[in-house]
């Protein structure tokens, strides 16, 4: 979870022409970063949480309005009980501590994912953080917690099917514009750029529907070492991409 101090962004933002409006990040490498230092994996998760702060603060500098981070996947429950319990404690601690500073920095926070398996205290804190920051517009931070792309599509399909069964939706009218209205991200634009740290070149069930036309960057940097400068370079590189969306320029 992010820790954002009071303050404002630099007065001269380095916004790249044509940069991404929405960046999504698979924050990978916390455990390996800790292991390299002879520390427990949770030490790496704490370092990774602090790293989010710098990236959230950098978003206005690079013209990024929306930032979505993958904090805990539906598959992460397979990790050891100690690690899972430590992560849940970390989420609760940072939400409790940083609600005010996030709001003062102008960050609007949303959570996506299935909340059913989360404990009541964590759910309450998530709701309170969303409510406390609902008026902010400077950065839209979305935290994917107990999230999986396939699970999201399945849950969306259930809701859509229920509306069809209740006569609220004509099945003949369902098209590719219909399903997104049932997704967790229905109020968000699709990501323009997806970044995965730590050298792994896979998407790990993250924003499967939404990222159909996103640009991807797989970088070797472990998440706790990912810097504002590297983030800026990736945003600038995105601005140089030739995005045709299936068309051919004439």
The pLDDT of residue 26 is 98
CB 144 within 8 A of CB 206: yes
pLDDT of residue 242: 62
Nearest alpha carbon to residue 22 among 185, 196, 191? 191
Domain definitions of the chain by residue range: 22-148+191-236
Helices (H), the chain: 30-36, 41-58, 81-105, 120-132, 149-165, 228-238
The one-digit pLDDT tens for each residue of the chain (250 residues) are 444 333 333 344 456 668 999 999 999 999 999 999 999 999 999 999 999 989 999 999 999 999 999 999 999 999 999 999 999 999 999 898 888 888 999 999 999 999 999 999 999 999 999 999 999 999 999 999 999 999 999 999 999 999 999 999 999 999 999 999 999 999 999 999 999 999 999 999 999 999 999 999 999 999 999 999 999 999 999 987 765 555 556 5
Give the pLDDT of residue 233: 96
Which tokens belong to 31? 């455990």
Contacts of 238 (CB under 8 A, 6+ apart): 16, 18, 19, 20, 192, 193, 215
Q: Which residues contact 172 (CB under 8 A, 6 or more apart)?
A: none
Rounded-to-integer distance, Cα 73 and Cα 120, Å: 18
Q: Considering the entire predicted model, what is its pTM?
A: 0.89
The pLDDT of residue 9 is 39
Identify the burial level of 68 via C-beta atoms within 10 angstroms of its C-beta, where 0-12 means exposed, 13-18 middle and 19 or more buried. Answer: buried
Strand partners, 141: 67, 109
Rounded to 5 degrees, φ, ψ at 145 are -130, 125
The span from the CA of 130 to the CA of 246, in Å, is 37
Would you state the pLDDT for residue 119?
A: 96
Predicted local distance difference test score (pLDDT) of residue 70: 98
Known catalytic residues?
Answer: 28, 76
Q: Both tokens of residue 132?
A: 């406390």
**Residue 101: exposure state from Cβ atoms within 10 A (0-12, 13-18, ≥19):** middle
- Rounded to an integer, what is the distance from CA 76 to the centroid of its chain? 16
What is the C-alpha separation between 140 and 109, in angstroms, rounded?
6
Domain 22-148+191-236: which topology?
Undecaprenyl pyrophosphate synthetase (3.40.1180)
Nearest to 243, CA basis, from 20, 14, 16, 60:
20
d(CA 220, CA 29): 9
Please answer whether residues 24 and 55 qualify as being in contact, where contact means their C-beta atoms are separated by less than 8 angstroms. no
pLDDT of residue 151: 98
Structure tokens at 228: 């504002």
What does the pLDDT read at residue 66? Answer: 98
């Amino acid at each position: 979870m992010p820790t954002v101090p009071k303050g404002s962004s630099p007065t001269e933002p380095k916004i790249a022409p044509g940069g991404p409006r929405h960046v999504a990040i698979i924050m990978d490498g916390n455990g390996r970063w800790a292991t390299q230092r002879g520390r427990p994996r949770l030490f790496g998760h704490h370092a990774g949480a602090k790293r989010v702060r710098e990236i959230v603060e950098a978003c206005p500098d690079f013209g990024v309005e929306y930032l979505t981070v993958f904090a805990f996947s539906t598959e992460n429950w397979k990790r050891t009980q100690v690690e899972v319990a430590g992560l849940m404690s970390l989420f609760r601690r940072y939400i409790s501590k940083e609600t005010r500073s996030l709001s003062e920095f102008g960050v609007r926070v949303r959570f996506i994912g299935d909340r059913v398996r989360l404990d009541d205290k964590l759910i309450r804190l998530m709701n309170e953080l969303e409510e406390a920051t609902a008026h902010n517009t400077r950065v839209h931070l979305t935290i994917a917690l107990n999230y999986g792309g396939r699970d999201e599509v399945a849950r969306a399909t259930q809701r859509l099917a229920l509306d069809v069964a209740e006569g609220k939706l004509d099945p003949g009218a369902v098209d590719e514009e219909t399903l997104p209205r049932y997704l967790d991200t229905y109020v968000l634009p699709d990501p323009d750029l997806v970044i995965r740290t730590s050298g792994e070149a896979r998407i790990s069930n993250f924003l499967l529907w939404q990222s159909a036309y996103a640009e991807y960057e797989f970088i070797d940097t472990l998440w706790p070492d990912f810097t504002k400068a590297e983030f800026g370079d990736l945003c600038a590189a995105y601005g140089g991409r030739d995005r045709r969306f299936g068309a051919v320029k004439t």
